[in-house]
Structure 1
Amino acid sequence: MTHTLQNQYLRVGIRDQGAELTSIFNRQTGIEHLWQADPNVWPWHAPNLFPVVGGQTNDQIVVDGRTYPLKRHGFARTSEFICTESSTEFASFELHSSEATKAVYPYDFVFEITYELDGSELTVTYRVKNKGTDNMFMSVGAHPAFNVPFQPGEDYTDYYIEFERDGSLETSLLGADGLLSGEKARISLDNRQLNLTPTLFDNDALVLLTLKSRQVTLKSRKNNHSIRLDFAVFPYLGIWAKPGAPFVCIEPWLGVADTSSKPRPIEGKQGIHRIRPGNSFVAHYSITVKS
């Protein structure tokens, strides 16, 4: 089932599977800004990543000395959430732990995702509650894909991502297995701008683990429309597109893929957060569409 939020500026779609955004439609311009999940190219819109971000060594996590099979980006994106509250401009979704989740991630939890419209801004809030009696270890991340170009008559290369702060970017390189290789590379910005090109993602995603900016904006040189992401509490950012595809993913992350090595205990993974019994972890980011 798909749920709709709307006001005079935006119409937003969210489906129960993964509590995933399926549409960010600008009612002022008639532009659909979210990638429409062409299964022949990339079959997602904006998956939510939980309880891990990125790939795991041997597709496994280690909890209390025991290994569990856990795929890249976790299981939330393929899970059915329950919509617990909805109105014209607000919706809340929950995923509860189950026997199926405990087979791959042995914690009692509630994962809540809320969406709230305020003018031309959409705020996405993640809340994870530890329902168990032991410490829980987890991470979350976002993976929204935005259509590029915004409108006909433009090219992918007309677009760029503008960073809040200037300076070069340090990207941590991924190996063929999707894990961090341990190698790094520098990417120069042109007046705070990262130009989108068909070859930018030939070696997979840009994984920015030392980024100082907490705001980036997707812009065109040929129109005044833009999409800004604010992610104050997310330390990492991924930027990716399938080479040659007409979209770009701008991904605020709290976690990151493993480094190619033997599996390590979940509490030792980079970007993992501890939640004490009965406590919750909360983080949010926002997407602002400017016409």
Structure 2
Amino acid sequence: MKQVLKNEHIRLVINHQGAEMTSLINLATQTEHLWQGDPAIWPWHAPNLFPVVGGQTNDQIVVDGQAYPMKRHGFARNSEFINTECTPTYASFELRSSPETKAMYPYDFIFEIIYELDGPDVIIEYKVRNLSETNMFLSLGAHPAFNVPFAPGEDYTDYYIEFDRDGSLETSLLGPDGLLSGEKGRIHLEERQLNLTPNLFDNDALVLLSLKSRKVSLCSRKNDHRITLEFGMFPYLGLWAKPGAPFVCIEPWLGVADTANRPMPIEGKQGIHRVTPKTSFIAHYYLGVV
């Protein structure tokens, strides 16, 4: 099942599986901005990541000394959410803990994802309620993939990601297992711009853990339209595309993959958040279409 939100600027479609955005259309240009999930290349559109971000050592998390199976980016993206409220410009989706989730993540919780249209912007809010009697530890994040190019007659290399602050980018490198290797790299920006090239992601994602910018835009040198993400509550950012594929992912993260050879209990993970019993954790970001 899917929910459709629409105002005079944009049309947004959300799938109940994963509460995932599957279409984002600029109504002024009739441009589809979300990658349409070609299964031969990458089958997702904009998965929501919970209760972990990235790869986990041995595909496990350790809670109170016990290991639980946990695949990369968690289980929310494969889970069926319930649509709890919907208006023409607002929709909320809910995932509750179950015996199936507790076999992987031993907490009682409600994970709510809310989408609201505000002019040309989409406000995406995450809310996690800890129903347990103990502290709950979590990470979460977004993984939207945007079509590049926006318009016919343009090329991938006509596009760039513009950062709102100057400076080069320090990247935390990933190993072949998808875990952080502990090594760093550096990418120079030209006038706050990171140029998109077919080989930019040959060595996997660019993982930015010390980023000063709180806003980035996906822009073209051949038209004035852009996609902008503001993610002030998210300390980390991932950039990724399948090498040679016509999209780019811009991913605000509240968490990060494990570091190779440094297994940690869940409470010791980098970027982990503690939610005390019977309280909620809330974070949001903005996605603008101009």
Q: Distance between the aligned counterparts of 1:38 and 1:3, measured in 2?
A: 21
Residue by residue over 1:192-220, the C-alpha shift from the partner in whole angstroms, topping out at 9 and shown as x without a partner, is 00000000000000000000000000000
Following superposition of structure 1 onto structure 2, how do residues 105-124 of structure 1 map, counting pairs within 5 Å?
Answer: 105-124=105-124
Q: Distance between the aligned counterparts of 1:264 and 1:258, measured in 2?
A: 8
- What displacement does 1:264 show? 1.1
Following superposition of structure 1 onto structure 2, how do residues 170-181 of structure 1 map, counting pairs within 5 Å?
Answer: 170-181=170-181
Q: Distance between the aligned counterparts of 2:123 and 2:262, measured in 1?
A: 37
Structure 1 residue 101 and structure 2 residue 122: aligned?
no
Q: Secondary structure at the residue paired with 1:264?
A: coil
Q: Distance between the aligned counterparts of 1:261 and 1:282, measured in 2?
A: 31
Q: Distance between the aligned counterparts of 2:127 and 2:205, measured in 1?
A: 26
Q: Name structure 2 gaps, 5 residues minimum.
A: none
Q: Secondary structure at the residue paired with 1:35?
A: coil
Structure 1 residue 147 and structure 2 residue 163: aligned?
no
Q: Distance between the aligned counterparts of 1:274 and 1:24, measured in 2?
A: 33
Structure 1 residue 208 and structure 2 residue 208: aligned?
yes
* Aligned equivalent of 1:248: 248
Q: Distance between the aligned counterparts of 2:118 and 2:264, measured in 1?
A: 42
* Aligned equivalent of 2:32: 32
Q: Distance between the aligned counterparts of 1:225 and 1:164, measured in 2?
A: 17
* Aligned equivalent of 2:66: 66
Following superposition of structure 1 onto structure 2, how do residues 202-241 of structure 1 map, counting pairs within 5 Å?
Answer: 202-241=202-241
1:60/1:263 contact within 8 Å kept: no
Q: How many residues align?
A: 290
- What displacement does 1:98 show? 0.2
Residue by residue over 1:147-168, the C-alpha shift from the partner in whole angstroms, topping out at 9 and shown as x without a partner, is 0000110000000000010110
- What displacement does 1:261 show? 1.3
- What displacement does 1:263 show? 2.4
Q: Distance between the aligned counterparts of 1:263 and 1:188, measured in 2?
A: 32
- What displacement does 1:86 show? 0.2
Q: Secondary structure at the residue paired with 1:257?
A: coil
Q: Distance between the aligned counterparts of 1:144 and 1:99, measured in 2?
A: 29
Residue by residue over 1:216-255, the C-alpha shift from the partner in whole angstroms, topping out at 9 and shown as x without a partner, is 0000000000000000010000000000000000000000
- What displacement does 1:262 show? 4.6
Q: Secondary structure at the residue paired with 2:115?
A: strand
Q: Distance between the aligned counterparts of 1:14 and 1:216, measured in 2?
A: 23
Letter in 1 for 2:279: N
TM-score norm. by structure 2 comes to 1.00
1:201/1:241 contact within 8 Å kept: yes
Letter in 2 for 1:81: F
Letter in 1 for 2:162: E
Letter in 1 for 2:2: T
Q: 1:8 to 1:75 in 2, by over 3 A?
A: same
Give the root-mean-square deviation of aligned CA atoms.
0.4
**Moved >2 Å (runs of 4+):** none
Q: Distance between the aligned counterparts of 2:34 and 2:80, measured in 1?
A: 21
Q: Distance between the aligned counterparts of 2:11 and 2:265, measured in 1?
A: 42
Q: Distance between the aligned counterparts of 1:263 and 1:107, measured in 2?
A: 21
Letter in 2 for 1:7: N
Q: Secondary structure at the residue paired with 1:211?
A: coil
Q: Distance between the aligned counterparts of 2:73 and 2:261, measured in 1?
A: 18
* Aligned equivalent of 2:5: 5
Q: Distance between the aligned counterparts of 1:190 and 1:24, measured in 2?
A: 29
1:57/1:260 contact within 8 Å kept: yes
Q: Distance between the aligned counterparts of 2:264 and 2:287, measured in 1?
A: 34
* Aligned equivalent of 2:75: 75
